[in-house]
Structure 1
């Protein structure tokens, strides 16, 4: 399967490059070609995931190598779907800059093509659902983060009265703000359910289950951070730059939890 992975990375890099050309020069032809290349990347990633699932007999989620690949696949899937449902230029570009970064991390991750013995012993449907929902929620938060970044960029352009094609293509502030909010509305309950399933699995499979584990604490802190974002939007009816900035900060907390706290965890050992 290595040739599928190598080809995927090559096409992905070309797609991001074309999106960057479109971003700089408003080249619609480059945008269309980049979109179709990204669709090919998604197809190849899907084939890779299906082959890995058939080969191992389980969804590939139990090592940092596998989870990063699945995370990149989720980002591409969401960006393609959103691009079709909501025409917001540059969202695919910025999302896949992040996605390519994740793929690059995946390249240098420990190449554990087979899950560890302990991970295989602990695998269960409950654990699969827990990890899948967590990564899907992270994907929703990631796209929401991109929308907030675009909001802050657009806000800055408007404040400085820098008119131009790029200003028009980014989209209006209300749409960017709304999409960021919608994705967090999806991500928060998904993460909550994932944590509930994770705790149940922990009590069933682990003896003892450590509530004070750094990854457990970090995950609940991520949930609280994004829940506070929803409180600002719904409870205090806040919109605009303040909540967009909070959303960006919340995503940085998410990254710290995923990469740093995961490596320090006592029992999330398949991520080390």
Structure 2
């Protein structure tokens, strides 16, 4: 039951059995601590559950196709009842499975948010730099107004204004749009600066004299000339998007259960007393750190490759 599976500590896989490679997990026994009256779990060495990789389990769907293959399966019993690699949360849900699902959600928000920021940055920055004049002045003043507002309070205010009755999907897209509202401004200024310098180049003048349309000049001749810089800037923007979503969800202003993201998982770690009893609840911070550092290193490498003398 939910109470019996609540806050089970990480239960690792044993890889060797009697000198042979035969993965298995020991059974667990739940008892009450006679001093604290808290439920504790001890390993039952008499009970072993063999592990099979890509074994059979309950039926699920992938792209509409029903399959029963799982990455990790347990012989003779459902894996969700005996296998808890990273432990369980307060409601008895397997933390490893939820972490895998949360990774998809958080990464998707980062990628979609950057895609929206990229489109806004290129379009508005390109219009500002190519046409100049009143349009340029208006867009630059708009960017200055947006950047003058503190980022975190702005995100928190917009997220808090979301109706509580919205569905998970509606909140998902709303949070993605909110996070994208600030990210486009820096890229727009970079694109504007490049357009201001490129529009004076001879090949742009030749394209104009040849009768090329403005859209063709912008997207066929100007944007590809600094595409590497855009890719590097985009890669560096993804970590900021992920941190933003994680922070908002951690504070209860972003995604809400039953949605799952890194921030939602970390909500259980807000209680210091619960964290002292169940330290494995902070495990979701590990993939956050790994992904953020990896994307930052990748972005720095792409930026150096795109502009080695910059």
Which protein has the bigger strand share? 2
TM-score with structure 1 setting the length:
0.34
TM-score with structure 2 setting the length:
0.31
Kindly name which structure, 1 or 2, has the bigger radius of gyration based on alpha carbons: 2
